[in-house]
A and B are shown apart, each in its own frame.
Chain A
Amino acid sequence: MIGQIIFIIILAAAVYLFSKNAGKIRRNILLGRDTNRSDHRAERWKIMAKVALGQSKMVKRPFAAVMHFFIYVGFVIINVEVLEIMIDGIFGSHRVFSKPLGSLYGLLIGGFEVLAVMVLIACVTFLARRNIVHLKRFTGVEMTSWPKSDANYILIIEILLMTAFLTMNAADHKLQLLNFGHYIKAGDFPVSAFIGPLLPDNTAALEIIERTCWWFHIIGILAFLNYLPYSKHFHILLAFPNTWYSNLNPKGEFTNMDSVTNEVKAMLDPSFVPETTAEPARFGVKDVTDLTWKNLMEAYTCTECGRCTSVCPANQTGKLLSPRKIMMDTRDRVTEMGNNLDKHGKEYKDDKSLLDNYITREELWACTTCNACVDACPVNINPLEIITGMRRYIVMEESQAPASLNNMFGNVENNGAPWKYSQADRLNWKENS
């Protein structure tokens, strides 16, 4: 009885704390400007099913894809077991699903055990790739100590959880064989049956091991849940809405700014009256509040895998630009803004901005807008939109484009070509042969 009460208190506290922190992330995301991403619903469901659920973009790197698939499937399916643990915890039952499911239960538990081993293999491999092989993709200026530790914590927690799960089963299995107490014969244990011999034969000790692992496993899962909002691992949740809200237009298409359209129309036709009178605060992006909520959702979805940066032509040739850093900086800045809101209230403004305090101009001007980063992202994040938005601010609000680009602008404006040629010579190619 006391166990049940403690369990319910821990569960309630964990759910409350998680909702609170997830709510903060939602609030932070909604600091962004509005944009419509709710059209073509059927297509959106399809993209989400393919890209998030089906992991379709992961396969470009087959080894990582298979390993990630182990962890992904393991996580999703072992959650059925977590449901049982929840019910057992609340009602004080033991393996409550075993009776109604009958022989299927054995198969399920057996399946979970196999998955748990696959998760273990994948996590150990991933740790090795990060800490022993030192894969280039996991290094870079933005991969400071926290992002590196974050990745390791996630993998270590998963290893601990899976180990506890298997040890719990092993003790349970052994107690079942000894016909001890309430440990009814339930489940197949293809993996933990091999761990059994390593455990003591004493039933009291076995029961302590079983209970300890049970509590460790479930408290571990609840603690992990509450780690998510502080971690890149939040992608396991946001990957789904983020792909649902994907950009459906061709990648080459950049948005046309309505605010600019109104000004240009008014210039070309003085009698033009714009439909909306609400002037935008500024042209382009200086800080995260100039981005759309979708850009900010992407920032919180990023799991720092670095596939974007590893295909970026600028990054590969030693330039400062790293699309992953653009996303991480955006997330860190909007989190900082959210924290300021919590601490100092709505009116407070720090004297920082995404541009210059986080992302430098040199990074922005290194981009070739080639869309390799956008294409590479397994969860359809678009760093290019943020880069372009910031270029727009630099050019249109500050007039601080590099001199050579200003020359190009001048040429386009004056002679209708980016080079200094006369418009009258446009047809000369006909004769030059």
Chain B
Amino acid sequence: MEHPTSEIKILTMAEMAAQGKEPEILFWVGCAGSFDERAQKITRDICKILNHVGIGFAVLGTEESCTGDPAKRAGNEFLFQMQAMVNIQVLNGYNIKKIVTGCPHCFNTIRNEYPGLGGNYEVIHHSQLIQQLINEGKLKTEGGESFKGKRITYHDPCYLGRGNNVYEAPRKALEVLDADLVEMKRCRSNGLCCGAGGGQMFKEPEKGNKDINIERMEDILESKATVVAAACPFCMTMLRDGVKHFEKEQEIQVLDIAEITARANGL
């Protein structure tokens, strides 16, 4: 059962600025987190975690716009830089210092590609925030759903893992669950892409003998995991499609690291 998010006060930067306040951290929701129904749940869970530990945060709301990541990977540098510069204007206008993102693509783009265009922020992915909170003892994994003994595997998103060498943070969030953690044969820097990166999310795959998420599903089935932990809304879509393809919706759940953390803490 999900607690309604309306209990939590979610302020936009504009609202905060009107009150003359500054948040500790800006939550960059991302397009998938804003519009994709499945990803919206993850967005709400990230808010619940932030609220639970008492971090003062804000979102940009309607002032947020695509980071330009899909345009850049697909070759439209022009559109990417247009998006980037407009976003940087907004972020700098609010004097933003620290950003947490709900998506590895936004994370990578703002962290690595915005500085060259005048946007310098401390950027973390939500799995890194969760790791930090666990390390500081602020998240205790209690009072919620028990994952004890559940067989969980983690799928590395390319732009978190290989792209930015973040392999441990999401695993840390799973280690505290006392679950039966299992790695797929292709994991960490060997992890297989879900098939959505580089603009593929928005087009039909090129001719081949298999879809990439089906290839990845075979790794998941081999791992015999009942929970697949994801950390990227695009991976989430691809992996869920894979589960559906094999008609394993009853046996295998695909959950984001934030959802697992929220559930374990009864949020």
Tell me if B37 counts as interface (CB < 8 A to partner A). Answer: yes
**Which of chain A's residues have a CB closer than 8 A to the CB of B6?**
430-431, 433
Asked if A260 meets B162 with Cβ closer than 8 Å, knowing A313-B193, A431-B6, the reply is no
Asked if A416 meets B65 with Cβ closer than 8 Å, knowing A264-B81, A265-B85, the reply is yes
The stretch of A203-211, A248-256, A335-343 that contacts the partner chain = A248-256
A433 touches B112 (CB 8 A): no
A80 to B102, CA, bound (A): 57
Tell me if A375 counts as interface (CB < 8 A to partner B). Answer: yes
**Which of chain A's residues have a CB closer than 8 A to the CB of B241?**
none
A313 to B112, CA, bound (A): 24
Asked if A368 meets B195 with Cβ closer than 8 Å, knowing A250-B163, A254-B113, the reply is yes
Q: How far is the CB of A433 from chain B (nearest CB, A)?
A: 5
Asked if A392 meets B75 with Cβ closer than 8 Å, knowing A404-B202, A417-B35, A423-B65, the reply is yes
Q: How far is the CB of A325 from chain B (nearest CB, A)?
A: 14
A313 touches B35 (CB 8 A): no
Q: How far is the CB of A31 from chain B (nearest CB, A)?
A: 23
Closest to B64 in A: A426
A405 touches B78 (CB 8 A): no
Q: State how many residues of chain A have any CB contact under 8 Å with chain B.
A: 71
A320 to B206, CA, bound (A): 8
Q: How far is the CB of B18 from chain A (nearest CB, A)?
A: 16
- A393-433 contacts to B, CB under 8 A, are 393-396, 401-402, 404-405, 407-409, 412-413, 416-419, 421, 423-433
A362 to B158, CA, bound (A): 22
Q: How far is the CB of A113 from chain B (nearest CB, A)?
A: 38
A314 touches B203 (CB 8 A): no
**Which of chain A's residues have a CB closer than 8 A to the CB of B108?**
250, 252-253
Tell me if B40 counts as interface (CB < 8 A to partner A). Answer: yes
B4 touches A394 (CB 8 A): no
Q: How far is the CB of B41 from chain A (nearest CB, A)?
A: 8
Interface centre among B201, B206, B210 (most CB of A within 10 A): B206
A391 to B74, CA, bound (A): 6
A412 touches B81 (CB 8 A): no
Tell me if A66 counts as interface (CB < 8 A to partner B). Answer: no
Tell me if A175 counts as interface (CB < 8 A to partner B). Answer: no
Interface centre among A261, A394, A417 (most CB of B within 10 A): A417
**Which of chain B's residues have a CB closer than 8 A to the CB of A391?**
74-75
B192 touches A408 (CB 8 A): no
Q: How far is the CB of B38 from chain A (nearest CB, A)?
A: 11
Q: How far is the CB of A260 from chain B (nearest CB, A)?
A: 5
Asked if A264 meets B64 with Cβ closer than 8 Å, knowing A250-B112, A252-B163, the reply is no
- Contact flags A230-271 to B (C-beta < 8 A → 1, else 0): 000000000000000000011111101100110111011000
Closest to B31 in A: A417
Contact among A256, A409, A419, A433 with B76 in the assembled complex (CB-CB below 8 Å) = A409
A429 touches B43 (CB 8 A): yes
Total residue contacts A-B, CB cutoff 8 A:
222
Tell me if B116 counts as interface (CB < 8 A to partner A). Answer: yes
A413 to B65, CA, bound (A): 10
Closest to A430 in B: B10
B164 touches A250 (CB 8 A): yes
B66 touches A252 (CB 8 A): no
- B72-105 contacts to A, CB under 8 A, are 72-79, 81-83, 85-86
Interface centre among A267, A317, A395, A413 (most CB of B within 10 A): A317
Tell me if A98 counts as interface (CB < 8 A to partner B). Answer: no
B208 touches A426 (CB 8 A): no
B206 touches A260 (CB 8 A): no
B190 touches A311 (CB 8 A): yes
Tell me if A125 counts as interface (CB < 8 A to partner B). Answer: no
A418 touches B66 (CB 8 A): yes
A401 touches B162 (CB 8 A): no
Tell me if A163 counts as interface (CB < 8 A to partner B). Answer: no
Tell me if B165 counts as interface (CB < 8 A to partner A). Answer: yes
A368 to B157, CA, bound (A): 12
A368 touches B197 (CB 8 A): yes
Q: How far is the CB of A250 from chain B (nearest CB, A)?
A: 5
**Which of chain A's residues have a CB closer than 8 A to the CB of B193?**
313, 368, 370, 372
Tell me if A10 counts as interface (CB < 8 A to partner B). Answer: no
A317 touches B37 (CB 8 A): no
Tell me if A91 counts as interface (CB < 8 A to partner B). Answer: no
Tell me if A367 counts as interface (CB < 8 A to partner B). Answer: yes
B112 touches A395 (CB 8 A): no
B112 touches A402 (CB 8 A): no
Tell me if A371 counts as interface (CB < 8 A to partner B). Answer: yes
Closest to A392 in B: B75
Interface centre among A256, A263, A375, A428 (most CB of B within 10 A): A256
Q: How far is the CB of B11 from chain A (nearest CB, A)?
A: 10
A365 to B197, CA, bound (A): 11
- A–B Cβ pairs within 8 angstroms, 21 of them: A251-B164, A256-B116, A260-B78, A319-B206, A320-B206, A320-B207, A362-B206, A367-B198, A368-B193, A369-B197, A369-B198, A370-B197, A392-B75, A405-B203, A408-B199, A412-B71, A416-B65, A417-B65, A418-B66, A426-B29, A429-B43
Closest CB pairs A-B (n = 8): A252-B163, A391-B75, A318-B209, A369-B198, A416-B65, A253-B112, A370-B193, A318-B208
A contacts, CB < 8 Å to B: 60, 249-254, 256-257, 260-261, 263-265, 267-268, 283-284, 311, 313-314, 316-321, 362, 365-372, 374-375, 388, 390-396, 401-402, 404-405, 407-409, 412-413, 416-419, 421, 423-433
B contacts, CB < 8 Å to A: 2, 4-6, 10, 12, 29, 31, 33-37, 40, 43-44, 59, 61-62, 64-66, 68, 70-79, 81-83, 85-86, 108, 112-113, 116-117, 158-159, 162-165, 189-190, 192-193, 195-212, 214-215
